[in-house]
Amino acid sequence: MRIAWQDAGWEGLTARVGRCRLPVWDCTSGLVAGDEGALLVDAGATPAQGGRLRAAAARLLGGGRRVTHLALTHPHFDHVLGAPAFAGAQFHGPAGAGVLLAADTEGLRADAVRHGVAVQDAADAAGALGRLARDTAHAPDAPDAPDAVRRTADPSRPTATAPARPRPPDTRTGARAPGSAPAPAPASPWHPVTDRQALDLGGGVRALLLNVGPGHTAHDLAVLVPGGDGEPDVVFCGDLVEESGEPQAGPDAVPGRWPGALDRLLALGGPEALYVPGHGAVVDAGFVRRQRDQLALRFGVS
């Protein structure tokens, strides 16, 4: 498979990994193309950006293929409000982000409008994303669920690569005819990443999703795509790293733990990886190290 990144206006980072910088808010979106599956990293700021990303990814992948997995690095509007355009894909986010997106639809909508997203677009997208996240956030066995609703931890909970566990027969109503197969549980599209989640996209292309936060927010996810055949590893950093300006520390940032998150990023990618910031040009490990030290100074931590 040869992907014509440049022809499509994308930046090719390796043969199978590319990214684009979206207009207006300059948010990065990345695409990792396997032989069988494709992962998009962050979905843009509006339903229109999400729709254009979906179409662009389909053109890049070719052959009627589409995005099968969407990773959201953190719950900020410019990274997530395009996500409803990817209905049918598996969604991955740092643990806790789903609860937040489900519970604070209004906060996400208001933040987007404050930054210039059209009122109706923000309301529609925040509502759709909240409903999508709510299904899993309130499920009894979801790692993403708050303690108040998580009654039991279930180590056999399905993952993105495992088939859904059949639902046990409903013995309360007796509605199911004896001998008939139990109805399968609806496969949830939302997969919280508590520690790490590996995705095998086929053709030797793998991606590792890692919960490296908190830092820029309380919930920060990074994506490592190991290189091969002399190609570099690629690390999608979300907004833990910014190149186009000083890293944005809003009211939901956890400044004291941000440098530690960058230490984990550097340990992940090592000295030779390409580091893709949430905003701005691709950087190297030296840049991330310097930004880590500047943040430690700025926030008064070591």
CB of 127 vs Zn ion, minimal distance in Å: 21
Q: Which is nearer to Zn ion, 121 or 239 (CB)?
A: 239
- Please choose, from the candidates 3, 45, 54, the residue with its C-alpha nearest in 3D space to the C-alpha of residue 26: 45
190-193/196-202 β-pairing? unpaired
CB of 54 vs Zn ion, minimal distance in Å: 22
- Please choose, from the candidates 23, 22, 18, 28, the residue with its C-alpha nearest in 3D space to the C-alpha of residue 238: 28
* Contact between 85 and 46 (Cβ < 8 Å): no
Q: Which is nearer to Zn ion, 53 or 237 (CB)?
A: 237
Q: Angle between the 119-137 and 105-114 helix axes, to the nearest 10 degrees? A: 150
Angle at 13 between CA 201 and CA 276, to 5 degrees: 95
Q: Which is nearer to Zn ion, 72 or 123 (CB)?
A: 72
Whole-angstrom distance, CA of residue 189 vs CA of residue 47: 18
CB of 252 vs Zn ion, minimal distance in Å: 9
Q: Which is nearer to Zn ion, 76 or 92 (CB)?
A: 76
The one-letter amino acid at 256:
G
The encoded tokens of residue 291 equal 């930004």
Long-range pairs of 160-164 with CB within 8 A, sequence gap ≥ 24: 160/69, 160/90, 160/92, 160/191, 160/197, 160/199, 161/198, 161/199, 161/200
CB of 216 vs Zn ion, minimal distance in Å: 6
Whole-angstrom distance, CA of residue 143 vs CA of residue 100: 13
Q: Which is nearer to Zn ion, 32 or 45 (CB)?
A: 45
CB of 88 vs Zn ion, minimal distance in Å: 26
The encoded tokens of residue 102 equal 């489900």
| 267 contact partners, CB below 8 Å, separation of at least 6 | none
Say whether 125 sits in a helix, a strand or coil: helix
Q: Which is nearer to Zn ion, 5 or 243 (CB)?
A: 243
CB of 69 vs Zn ion, minimal distance in Å: 21
Q: Which is nearer to Zn ion, 34 or 260 (CB)?
A: 260
Whole-angstrom distance, CA of residue 74 vs CA of residue 93: 7
CB of 44 vs Zn ion, minimal distance in Å: 13
**Which residues contact Zn ion (rule: CB under 5 A)?**
76, 239
CB of 259 vs Zn ion, minimal distance in Å: 17
Whole-angstrom distance, CA of residue 181 vs CA of residue 167: 10
Q: Which is nearer to Zn ion, 115 or 206 (CB)?
A: 115
**Beta-bridge partner residues of 235:** 224, 275
